[in-house]
């Protein structure tokens, strides 16, 4: 069982780099186990990750092997806040990050799939990476189960799911939707969905696709 989880961990770690969601040593992912966590190591390129380099932590977040990412505090605070979350992905998607630099409201993105897949996305003002303040405030914004993503201004984004697959693909969907919205803004002023339509799409997403 654990070997399968390690292989899955490697797969999505490398997919982050392959699809341009991180570069160099950017980003980090983690997975909740029955009695602890797996996490990416500190300062390590995701596309080069090997099974023996994955960090294992106990249920209290203490490292059992290797040095975890400096953002591990954020992951652990999210797990404390959301018992339904089993995986966390933090990346630096270019279009998401670019839109955050101009104070864009991501819930204005008028795409059905955006609300069905991600439900609600919150935005957090810039806070020093790796700090406990960032960890605590990110987890607080993710408290509601309908919130599956947080954009970290001038930094990147965090997505969650009950599996690495769902957490990863929410990050991919967030970036893809942001890219479409970015391109639309170059050509005009895309009109946001009204509140009722957003609510309907969010309701659809509760019983659709990724969990």
Q: Which pLDDT band holds residue 211 (cuts at 50, 70, 90)? A: low
Burial class, 204, CB count within 10 angstroms (exposed 0-12 / middle 13-18 / buried 19+): middle
Q: Are 31 and 87 in contact (CB under 8 A)?
A: yes
User: Would strands 120-124 and 87-91 be described as parallel, antiparallel, or unpaired?
Assistant: unpaired
Q: Are 94 and 16 in contact (CB under 8 A)?
A: no
CA–CA gap between residue 166 and residue 40 (Å, rounded): 18
Q: Which pLDDT band holds residue 91 (cuts at 50, 70, 90)? A: very high
Q: Are 134 and 123 in contact (CB under 8 A)?
A: no
Active site residues: 71
Q: Are 49 and 10 in contact (CB under 8 A)?
A: yes
Per DSSP, 153 falls in state T
Q: Which residue has the higher pLDDT, 137 or 210?
A: 137
pLDDT value of position 166: 95
- The beta-carbon contacts of 3-8 under 8 Å, at least 24 apart in sequence, are 5/31, 5/33, 5/38, 6/38, 6/51, 6/54, 7/51, 8/164, 8/165
pLDDT value of position 209: 63
Q: For the domain 2-205, what is the CATH superfamily, name and number?
A: Class II aldolase/adducin N-terminal domain (3.40.225.10)
DSSP string, 54-117: SEEEETTS-EEES-B-TTHHHHHHHHHH-TT--EEEEE--HHHHHHHHTT--GGG---HHHHHH
The pTM score is: 0.95
Would you list the domain boundaries of the chain? 2-205
CA–CA gap between residue 186 and residue 130 (Å, rounded): 34
Is the model's pLDDT at 1 over the cut of 80? no
**Residue 126: its H or E element:** none
Give the model confidence (pLDDT) of 150-181 as tens digits: 999 999 999 999 999 999 999 999 999 999 99
What is the share, in percent, of the chain residues with pLDDT greater than 90?
Answer: 91
pLDDT value of position 210: 66
Give the model confidence (pLDDT) of 47-61 as tens digits: 999 999 999 999 999
User: Would strands 156-161 and 147-152 be described as parallel, antiparallel, or unpaired?
Assistant: antiparallel
């Amino acid at each position: 069982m654990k070997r399968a989880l390690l292989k899955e961990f490697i797969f999505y770690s490398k997919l982050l780099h392959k699809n341009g969601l991180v570069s160099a040593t950017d980003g980090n992912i983690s997975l909740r186990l029955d009695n602890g966590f797996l996490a990416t190591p500190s300062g390590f390129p995701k596309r080069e990750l090997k099974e023996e380099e994955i960090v294992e932590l106990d249920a209290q977040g203490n490292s059992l092997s290797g040095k975890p990412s400096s953002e591990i505090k954020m992951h652990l605070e999210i797990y404390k806040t959301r018992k339904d979350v089993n995986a966390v992905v933090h990346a630096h998607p270019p279009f998401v990050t670019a839109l955050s630099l101009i104070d864009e409201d991501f819930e204005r993105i008028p795409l059905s799939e955006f609300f069905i897949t991600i439900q609600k996305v919150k935005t957090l003002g810039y806070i020093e990476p790796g700090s406990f303040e960032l960890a605590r405030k990110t987890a607080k914004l993710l408290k509601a189960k309908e919130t599956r993503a947080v954009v970290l201004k001038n930094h990147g984004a965090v997505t969650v799911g009950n599996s690495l697959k769902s957490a990863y693909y929410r990050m991919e969907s967030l970036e893809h939707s942001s890219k479409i919205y970015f391109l639309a803004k170059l050509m005009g002023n895309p009109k946001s969905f009204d509140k009722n339509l957003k609510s309907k799409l969010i309701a659809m997403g509760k019983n659709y696709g990724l969990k």
